[in-house]
Structure 1
Amino acid sequence: MKKLIFSLLSLSAFGHNLSFHKQIILEQGLKVQETLLGGLSGIRYDVSKNLLYAVSDDRARKSPARFYTFDVFENKNGLNFKVKDAIILKTGKGTNYRKGSVDFEDIEILDENNVIITSEGNLMSRYVQPPRVIVFEKSGKYSKDYLVDTKFKPHRENGHFVSGIRDNLAFEPLSFTPDKQHLFTGVEDALQQDGPVASTRTHSNVRLIRYTKTGSGYSPNEEFVYPLGPISNIETTVQSLAAQSGVPAVLALDKNNLLVMERTYYPLQNRTTVQLFKVTIEEDTTNVQGMHSLIDKKFKYVKKKLFVNFDEFLPKLSKDYRFLDNIEGLALGPNLRNGNQTLIIVSDDNFNKGQRTQFIVFEIKGKL
């Protein structure tokens, strides 16, 4: 039996301070500088340039690996985004990434000239690709990789992966603390050696990694465990079969407090639910960096409490698109004219004809 110490876990909501501001749906097939716009997986607002950055998780298949910038402005209809540029990301050799060699998922603004982007890697390609945290110049030129602990790198024995990331469930989230002294990333669901993925019967052990600023870079000094799930039943247990959950995004409020997004897809209903949890790394939360496996280990989870279930806002969405698409990105946005800051989420359309790029903007009344 697993020896686990649970922190106080409550699924009753805080009572959030978000109000619906606007939904923006982008048309499919939009071309930007000869690239196909879509697959937006991570977003970040650059206050100094008044630009929204959005990275595509296309795996360099539809177009070269890339991120986009959007001009941000407010008019009588509220906040708006207008796509501006497509920036092609380059390898250390200055070439385009091979198809399937990267799976870029989230983006952060490092400084005036550089961004940081996570890649999930790829276990299904001919050459297995590990997860990465990469620094690029804003021009798309490769700068360097940050260190990733070996426990996250896929390891295969007798034709089967026995440790490291699971395919398409690796480094999704990325977020700086406001003072940029710490950088968070983590896996979307449990590592192979950390137990099963989340289901309707059990939670899973998701590692959150806290990087700390060291000179001109960041080092992964700590790992904490976030309990993902269990997945909630929708209407009936049968209709919830095959549901998949994960952590696609986080937003660091400070070094010990985060907003963590949980997204669950119910294939039998073709429905997605998205929730935000307020998470606290307490003084006695266990740093599990030294544990290669979490199975049968004793540790204390981060504290987790529901902040908002975005289903609450479904009635506010336009009648022709009144559902949550494949939401993956989360970011603080600009202040509105009334002085209140915004929170933005975005969906990855998977380049699927039945899906769209869906921006939903919320007004924050007070502080998060």
Structure 2
Amino acid sequence: MKYKWLFLVAVAGVFASCSTSRKAAVTKDHSISQLRFIGKQVIPYNMPFEGTTTGGLSGIDYNPARNEYYMICDDRSDINPARFYTAKLYFNGQSFDSVRMTAVTTLRQANGQPYPNKHQDPARTPDPEALRFNTKYGFMVWSSEGERIVNKKDTILANPSLTIIHPDGKYIDTFAIPAAYHMQATPNGPRRNAGFEGLAFSQDNQWMYVSLEEPRYEDGPRADVNTTDAITRILKFDMKTRKPVAQYAYSLDPVASPAASPDSFRINGIADIMYLGTDKLLVLERSFTAGVPGCVIKLYVTDLRGATDVSDIASLQKNKNYTLASKKLLYNFESLHSYIDNIEGVTFGPILPNGHPSLVLVADNNFSSEEESQFFVFEVIP
């Protein structure tokens, strides 16, 4: 490990001096002028917890009423059944002391059973990526990117999904997914591993925003080092009808680091989003190039006001008669001058002692010994 980690199983009261107020960080429309880094923690590789292997932490959300965090795991039921973890984080305005896992919850299908892995039923195997707790309704929503395997041997298609569950993991319902986001055997719809990656609820819980990690086939090329026209989409759902009401075009940055060869894997896409208020979102872009250590992580403030509703535009590449959502760089993790792994989750945390909100991010280690399950804490400066 490149950084010292601290994982404590002592009772929370031991760390009372490091706790923060349980008041939610976002109680109204929010402006962010800058972020101040507070600290970082790394939990051990393949850390065992309640019969599971901890890793693959792809999304994070905060419940202020219980002062706890929920982190979805992107294990496709290969190591353990698809699940999310509950944790306590201990920090204040000066230091970030520890992470303590407190529970693990299995995600359940409509029949009450855990989700199968690819050997049991590949068409029903999920790819969990994001999880949000809804304070108004008391339920959670999690996203799956689905599956798209098309080769001479087999064709496996599983649509991206948005599933509503009880906090105990039991299935409630799903959101209506537009046909344009169904997986296809032809080069149409979402690309593999590039589907619903980010979720955010509006503060009044009237709307849910969902981000597509990379462009649909019809919308043009994936991001690359010299590509400036990689356009993905952000969807807006009505929480009452659970149907989409608008879509917005979002321009991705080019891939940050050049590849060693044309065949080397590289990516830049939206890894997560957070609601800021008045149709503004915090957007987390994550760039990775095979052979280059770590990732380039950037946070943008995106304004959907003035952006065209592109719901009726089948191809953002062929029909360019639209206005993109605006974006303004808020924070580049390169400013930390340290190893930054695959950050995929972001949430507002508690209010700090000085009255400012906190921002918490988590990195997915992909269950690799060469990567880290990192946690970052920042102070939000209005």
**TM-score for the superposition, normalised by structure 2:** 0.83
The equivalent of 2:206 in structure 1 is: 181
Aligned mate of 1:256, from 279, 303, 328: 279
How far, CA to CA, are the matches of 1:182 and 1:289 in structure 2?
16
Instruction: Answer yes or no: is 1:107 the counterpart of 2:131.
Output: yes
In structure 2, relative to structure 1, the CA distance for the partners of 1:362 and 1:301 (3 Å cut) is same
The equivalent of 1:55 in structure 2 is: 72
**Cα pair 1:182 1:255 within 8 Å, conserved:** no
Aligned mate of 1:93, from 84, 90, 111: 111
Aligned mate of 1:213, from 239, 242, 259: 239
**Cα pair 2:294 2:342 within 8 Å, conserved:** no
How far, CA to CA, are the matches of 2:181 and 2:283 in structure 1?
20
The equivalent of 2:54 in structure 1 is: 37
Amino acid of the residue matched to residue 230 of structure 2?
Answer: S
C-alpha distance after superposition, 1:3-24 (max 9, x if no partner): xxxxxxxxxxx99421111100
Gaps of 5+ in 2: 1-30, 119-124
**TM-score for the superposition, normalised by structure 1:** 0.86
How far, CA to CA, are the matches of 2:97 and 2:312 in structure 1?
45
The equivalent of 1:324 in structure 2 is: 340
Aligned counterparts, 1:163-178, within 5 A:
163-178=188-203
Aligned counterparts, 1:1-368, within 5 A:
16-74=33-91, 77-78=95-96, 80-100=98-118, 101-111=125-135, 113-124=138-149, 127-156=156-185, 161-202=186-227, 203-214=229-240, 217-232=241-256, 234=257, 242-283=265-306, 285-297=307-319, 298-314=321-337, 322-365=338-381, 367=382
Paired residues, what number? 337
**Cα pair 2:41 2:97 within 8 Å, conserved:** no
Deviates more, 1:71-80 or 1:302-311: 71-80
Percent identity over the alignment is 27
C-alpha distance after superposition, 1:250-300 (max 9, x if no partner): 1111241111111111223233100011111123x2111112222220211
In structure 2, relative to structure 1, the CA distance for the partners of 1:301 and 1:177 (3 Å cut) is same
In structure 2, relative to structure 1, the CA distance for the partners of 1:102 and 1:77 (3 Å cut) is same
Deviates more, 1:125-134 or 1:19-28: 125-134
Deviates more, 1:83-92 or 1:174-183: 174-183
In structure 2, relative to structure 1, the CA distance for the partners of 1:238 and 1:37 (3 Å cut) is closer
Deviates more, 1:274-283 or 1:108-117: 108-117
Amino acid of the residue matched to residue 91 of structure 1?
Answer: Q
**Cα pair 2:86 2:103 within 8 Å, conserved:** yes
How far, CA to CA, are the matches of 1:109 and 1:305 in structure 2?
27
How far, CA to CA, are the matches of 1:255 and 1:91 in structure 2?
35
**Cα pair 2:157 2:184 within 8 Å, conserved:** no
Structure 2 residue matching 1:246: 3-state secondary structure: strand
CA RMSD of aligned residues (A): 2.1
Amino acid of the residue matched to residue 363 of structure 1?
Answer: E
**Cα pair 1:239 1:268 within 8 Å, conserved:** no
Gaps of 5+ in 1: 1-13, 315-321
Deviation of 1:95 (Å)? 0.8
How far, CA to CA, are the matches of 2:331 and 2:90 in structure 1?
26
C-alpha distance after superposition, 1:65-113 (max 9, x if no partner): 0001012334785454310000001100011101141011011112364
The equivalent of 2:23 in structure 1 is: none
Deviation of 1:126 (Å)? 5.7
Deviates more, 1:121-130 or 1:254-263: 121-130
Deviates more, 1:110-119 or 1:269-278: 110-119
How far, CA to CA, are the matches of 1:222 and 1:69 in structure 2?
32
Deviation of 1:123 (Å)? 1.1
How far, CA to CA, are the matches of 2:189 and 2:318 in structure 1?
17
How far, CA to CA, are the matches of 2:72 and 2:327 in structure 1?
28
Amino acid of the residue matched to residue 98 of structure 1?
Answer: P
Structure 2 residue matching 1:271: 3-state secondary structure: coil
Amino acid of the residue matched to residue 289 of structure 2?
Answer: Y
**Cα pair 1:54 1:107 within 8 Å, conserved:** yes
How far, CA to CA, are the matches of 1:22 and 1:102 in structure 2?
33
The equivalent of 1:10 in structure 2 is: none
